Amino acid sequence: MSANLMNGARILLECLTREKVDVIFGYPGGVTLPLYDALYDHPLKHVLVRHEQNACFAAEGYARSTGKVGVCLATSGPGATNLVTALVDAMMDSIPVVAITGQVTTKLIGSDAFQEADTFGITRSCTKHNFLVKKLAELPQTIHEAFHIASTGRPGPVLVDIPKDVFQATTHYTPVSHIHLPGYKVYTEGHAGQIRRAAQLIWESSRPIVYAGGGIIAAGASEDLRELVERVDAPAVCTLMGLGGMPSGHPNFISMPGMHGSYASNMAMTETDLIIALGVRFDDRVTGRLAAFAPHAKVIHVDIDPAEIGKNRTADVPIVGDCQKVLEKLNQELRDSADQKERNEAARAGWRARVRDWMHEHPLEPEFSSDEIKPQHLMSEIDRISGGEAIVCADVGQHQMWAAQFIRFNHPRLWLNSGGLGAMGFGFPAAIGAQMANPDKLVFAIVGDGGFQMSIPELATVANQNLPVKIIVMNNGYLGMIRQWQELFYNNRLSAAELISFPDPEKLAGAYGFKGRTVEKPQHLRAALEAAVAEPGPYLLNVRVSPFENVYPMVPAGGAINEMVLAPPQPVEA
């Protein structure tokens, strides 16, 4: 027999190896048995999760924390449908993921076979692109195309559906060196004329603001962003997806804009005369009522996805390109035209002073109490331990907003959260993926008592892999964000918001063979967190926080972002 006669399963593993995949997150099933058989003695690391959704969330955690493509694997039918939520999540947040699903044997497709689902049809709208591989000959090409599409342009999830007989068939494997996707056009460079116009607008502006998002992180443009901000000396905001794109401690950084953004950010975004929008999509959670958003501003909009430009807000200077490449050129333009800086510098100095005043007027400051742990207190303690260096994976809800407000990030790819989709159950499995990719880093999974119980089976995975993830449950006994909205907008009728029966964390973690405990007193919080971090393995810390705390500032849905509610209207009775 020829030396390179291989079956489809092994060819797939060959292709993954050539794409430099070092770990895949998955769950086996009937039709993927040939692939699992090939994995049995293959050096590629496989992490067995406890639910397919978490395989994809973990792949996202891997991708978000490294910038590399995350890979997950599920079987046909229920395995594939379980991926859907996480694929949509990766789609919304532009995260490069390749999902491989098994499919029933080619001949059975369309016959309602056991564990058959129309994965190709179901995942069409939740992927950047998807494939059904019907012939083994197409497999290597398809896999490399999938990685190329996932990781270039605006990144996103790509799914490859592979029938069982394709895994089993054998052929002579020839590595692929080129791929050709004639309709896949990515414009990265940015239009030189528009970049020049952008520089011009910047020097003409009196009240500029830099509005940076996930595109900065995807493009690896943090250094260029920082140079731009310093060169113009403009205030800068990072969106929920962009946190870490600027060091949180930078003097020009005024935190996050939008629904739970800082007062200074929202005031500055309203009063500005020039928005320098970089890798953002003018999301409704940022703009509030669109018609009232930044009414006096011209807009420079840089994005690699042409469809984002002008989608929600018309751009005066549209620039289609990769944020890193465009910013490098824009910074060069600004250097070359530095003599123009003085023209409006006096006005810009006044603007900076005004933004500083807003920051001092209503700073984002944690709350403390001597009787109970305030959620903001918890976040500021985690911030103290992290020192801007730890990976923080948040779930979705109040704790996510407080973490975004109070935990600082010195670098990109430290803050991992489900931004666009807001998928509860994201945080803990994402932390598993992040810890696999960064074995020497401190990784926190900050979760609510709601979201944690959606991903609780993964306690087995951290135990099994001995991953030292620090699971911090911000436990207020409620679906906190639901309770907050019910309090504010539904006459405090707390319908289905209370979470009764949270498991004893010591027993729960103990059942999996690691440590856990509850902390309730503010004076014990610091020591409890330090003990959790000192533990060499995983740790489950259940932090009982005051149940009725609300996230402020808050822009009510449909409101303009300068119409923030800054504090509770009155104390609410328990």
Site string for other proteins, 8-47 (x = CB under 8 A): --x---x--xxxx--------------------xxx----
- 8 Å CB contact between 326 and 220: no
- 8 Å CB contact between 25 and 59: yes
- 8 Å CB contact between 49 and 41: no
Contact window for other proteins (CB under 8 A) among 52-60, 129-137, 333-341, 343-351: 129-137
Selected binder of other proteins within 105, 106, 170, 337 (CB under 8 A):
170
Find all residues with CB under 8 Å of 290, minimum gap 6, and list them: 282, 284, 312, 313
**Token couple for 471:** 């699971």
CA dist., res. 518 & res. 544, Å (int):
7
Q: Is 149 in the site for other proteins (CB under 8 A)?
A: yes
Q: Is 181 in the site for other proteins (CB under 8 A)?
A: yes
Single-letter code of the amino acid located at 458: E
Across-strand partners of 207?
none
Judge whether 379 counts as a catalytic residue: no
Spot the catalytic one: 6, 14, 19, 52.
52
Spot the catalytic one: 454, 481, 554, 564.
481
Across-strand partners of 416?
393
Q: Is 306 in the site for other proteins (CB under 8 A)?
A: yes
Contact window for other proteins (CB under 8 A) among 45-53, 77-85, 179-187, 266-274: 179-187
CA dist., res. 161 & res. 133, Å (int):
6
Cα torsion for 303, 308, 313, 317, to the nearest 10°? 40
Selected binder of other proteins within 48, 114, 125, 389 (CB under 8 A):
125
Q: Considering the complex, what minimum distance in angstroms separates the CB of residue 291 from other proteins?
A: 13
Judge whether 374 counts as a catalytic residue: no
Among all chains, which residue has been given the structure tokens 């959790």?
Answer: 532
- 8 Å CB contact between 265 and 553: no
Q: Please give the backbone phi and psi of residue 98, each rounded to the nearest 5 degrees, phi first.
A: -110, 120
Q: Is 176 in the site for other proteins (CB under 8 A)?
A: yes
Q: Is 377 in the site for other proteins (CB under 8 A)?
A: no
Residues 85-124 that bind other proteins (CB under 8 A): 120-121, 124
Judge whether 484 counts as a catalytic residue: no
Q: Name the nearest CA neighbour of 154 among 98, 89, 96.
A: 96
- 8 Å CB contact between 126 and 1: no
Selected binder of other proteins within 177, 370, 491, 523 (CB under 8 A):
177
Contact window for other proteins (CB under 8 A) among 168-176, 264-272, 367-375, 560-568: 168-176
Q: Is 493 in the site for other proteins (CB under 8 A)?
A: no
Judge whether 481 counts as a catalytic residue: yes
Spot the catalytic one: 115, 168, 340, 465.
115
Judge whether 436 counts as a catalytic residue: no
How far are the Cα atoms of 103, 113, 122, 137 from residue 109, in angstroms, in the given order?
8, 7, 14, 19
Q: Considering the complex, what minimum distance in angstroms separates the CB of residue 346 from other proteins?
A: 38
Site string for other proteins, 307-326 (x = CB under 8 A): x--xx---------------
Residues binding other proteins (CB under 8 A): 1, 3-7, 10, 14, 17-20, 41-43, 120-121, 124-125, 128-130, 132, 144, 147-149, 170, 175-186, 305-307, 310-311
